[in-house]
Amino acid sequence: MTDILRSWIGGALPDWLIVLIAYLLVTTIVLFYAVGNFIMMVWAERRVVARMQDRLGPNRVGPAGLLQPIADAVKMFTKEDIVPRNADRWVHLLAPIVALAPVAMMLAVIPWGRGWEPVDLNVALLYMVAVSAVSGVGLMMAGWGSNNKFALLGAMRAVAQLVSYEIPAVTALLTVVILAGGMSLLELPYMQAGVPIMGATILCGDPAGCSPLLYSTITSFPGSPNEPVQALDLGLGWWVFTPVGFLGFLVFFIAALAEGERTPFDIPEADSEIVAGYMTEYSGMKFATFYIAQYILNFALSALAATAFLGGWQGPGVAALANMGGPWVHVAAALSAFYLLAKIWILFFVMIWLRGAFPRLRVDQLMDFAWKLLLPLALVNIVSASLMVGLTQWTSAQWGGLISLDGFAPWQRQLIAVLVTAIINIAAAYWILAINQRPKQVEWDEEELIAAS
């Protein structure tokens, strides 16, 4: 962006101003992108849930009700802003801002397409986790500042859920850090090139005979730096196709549902129990700000899940177009941005689907699910991820002479690693599920309870 601007108006303005304008432009584009998606998401959610519940949903404003979100926005703007008399004014006012700002900051590090990344941060994964944790402060402020018992209860529930589901989410992301050998999000889609399961390990035997449409030069490898190779690249070497990535994706996506307060985990705003949770005392634009924050959080978490496990912008045809050079590189970028958007929307559709399918969890079920099922699975997955990296990348000297795989071809090592991790993950998942399904001992004695009461 900076370079484009510089070539256009390079002489007219000082350089630092151009850099500043470029940053502002990129920020504006990303925020508009997210808010545009938010509008479409609200419409899609209402229509899809209506379809699942055999209703029509909003269908009056515009074609198929597409303009309904705009009508809603106008309604939100014109509503009266009510602040309870005993509320803490400043905290009540600042809470929606503190809830929305970190969520918007999450969008800064996601690679939206091939070469379309607003900021390249080398700790991007940790940054995403850290910044999303900050919005908990906003929820707490909303709950306390409203001076309402439902709001406080809702905030307590929200923050307790946020804090406890952060642990499986971070542990699942740790497998990505191990596989990638770093925390940069920019590198992740490049590492997920290749073909399903095998990744970028099917190499080109004869450099002259390999078509650039099928084979591309892979420079960045998961784990350790290797010299660039020509590998079969269909843009489908997503980590979700390997056992490690699959388990990691499952755990992360479920934890992301809980962090985004989607339906099986929506006890913080359970409207049949505590009105609307921490949003109870908010009206007009402040309520809309919370609403936007929630949907953009879902959008950003879907984008993170897609980038970390589903290959990000990687997809069939992107590498081939990029290899053709010239103006085709821009076509490749547009196609890659489309792939990422499609993945985000598929994940969001699954979220809506779960909302249509599942009832709300109880709070003890919620905690049991996080601590007894997701966390052990994620921990086992870390061991598998380490084995995966060890089996595919390490030399026998790094193994200390215990295992020597130096003689094998990359695809053979990949196959061995996939088999070993599949066995470990399936066995562990089966075992942990069996433990959790074991009937509980009756902890209470009926006779004793009768005597007590």
* Rounded least distance, CB 155 to another protein, Å: 9
* Rounded least distance, CB 207 to another protein, Å: 32
| Using rule CB under 8 A, residue 375 touches another protein | no
* Rounded least distance, CB 134 to another protein, Å: 5
Size of the site for another protein (CB under 8 A): 38
* Rounded least distance, CB 94 to another protein, Å: 8
| Using rule CB under 8 A, residue 133 touches another protein | yes
For another protein, the binding residues in 391-420 under the rule CB under 8 A are: none
* Rounded least distance, CB 90 to another protein, Å: 8
| Using rule CB under 8 A, residue 158 touches another protein | no
Q: Which of 42, 48, 99, 140 is the binder for another protein (CB under 8 A)?
A: 140
| Using rule CB under 8 A, residue 207 touches another protein | no
Half-sphere exposure of 428 (CA within 13 A, CB side): 22
Torsion of CA 428, 434, 437, 443, to 10 degrees: -100
Q: How many CB atoms lie within 10 A of CB 65?
A: 18
Please report where in the chains the tokens 């020597």 appear, as a residue.
Answer: 404
| Using rule CB under 8 A, residue 21 touches another protein | no
3-state secondary structure of 217: strand
| Using rule CB under 8 A, residue 136 touches another protein | yes
| Using rule CB under 8 A, residue 137 touches another protein | yes
Q: Which of 5, 21, 49, 134 is the binder for another protein (CB under 8 A)?
A: 134
CA-wise closest residue to 428 among 248, 199, 256, 253: 248
Which amino acid is it at 34?
A
| Using rule CB under 8 A, residue 282 touches another protein | no
* Rounded least distance, CB 59 to another protein, Å: 39
| Using rule CB under 8 A, residue 208 touches another protein | no
How remote is the C-alpha of 12 from its chain's centroid? Answer: 41
User: For the chain, first and last CA: distance in Å?
Assistant: 73
Q: What is the DSSP letter of 372?
A: I
| Using rule CB under 8 A, residue 379 touches another protein | no
Q: Cα(342)–Cα(43) distance, rounded to whole angstroms? A: 17
* Rounded least distance, CB 63 to another protein, Å: 43
User: At a CB cut-off of 8 Å and minimum separation 6, what does 177 contact?
Assistant: 125, 183
Helix 375-393, helix 243-259: angle, nearest 10: 140
| Cβ atoms 112, 103 nearer than 8 A | no
| Using rule CB under 8 A, residue 15 touches another protein | yes
Stretch that binds another protein, among 276-284, 325-333, 370-378, 441-449 (CB under 8 A): 441-449
Q: Which of 43, 127, 239, 339 is the binder for another protein (CB under 8 A)?
A: 127
**Residue 149: φ, ψ to 5°:** -70, -35
| Using rule CB under 8 A, residue 449 touches another protein | yes
- Three-class secondary structure assignment of 408-445: CCHHHHHHHHHHHHHHHHHHHHHHHHHHHHCCCCCCCC
Q: Cα(419)–Cα(409) distance, rounded to whole angstroms? A: 16
| Cβ atoms 311, 237 nearer than 8 A | yes
Q: Which of 99, 100, 108, 129 is the binder for another protein (CB under 8 A)?
A: 129
| Using rule CB under 8 A, residue 159 touches another protein | yes
Q: How many CB atoms lie within 10 A of CB 350?
A: 14
**Residue 377: φ, ψ to 5°:** -60, -45
* Rounded least distance, CB 127 to another protein, Å: 5
Please report where in the chains the tokens 């590492």 appear, as a residue.
Answer: 191
| Using rule CB under 8 A, residue 81 touches another protein | no
* Rounded least distance, CB 144 to another protein, Å: 6
CA-wise closest residue to 132 among 304, 381, 354, 343: 304
48 vs 139, which CB is nearer to another protein? Answer: 139
95 vs 378, which CB is nearer to another protein? Answer: 95
CA-wise closest residue to 201 among 233, 160, 156: 233
95 vs 344, which CB is nearer to another protein? Answer: 95
Token couple for 259: 């962090």
Helix 328-357, helix 15-52: angle, nearest 10: 40
136 vs 248, which CB is nearer to another protein? Answer: 136
* Rounded least distance, CB 5 to another protein, Å: 11
For another protein, the binding residues in 107-126 under the rule CB under 8 A are: 121-123, 126
Stretch that binds another protein, among 14-22, 228-236, 327-335, 413-421 (CB under 8 A): 14-22
| Using rule CB under 8 A, residue 131 touches another protein | yes
* Rounded least distance, CB 114 to another protein, Å: 20
| Using rule CB under 8 A, residue 446 touches another protein | yes
| Cβ atoms 337, 318 nearer than 8 A | no
Interface residue list for another protein (CB under 8 A): 2-3, 6, 10, 14-16, 88, 91, 121-123, 126-127, 129-131, 133-134, 136-137, 140-141, 144, 152, 156, 159, 163, 166, 182-183, 442-444, 446, 449-450, 453
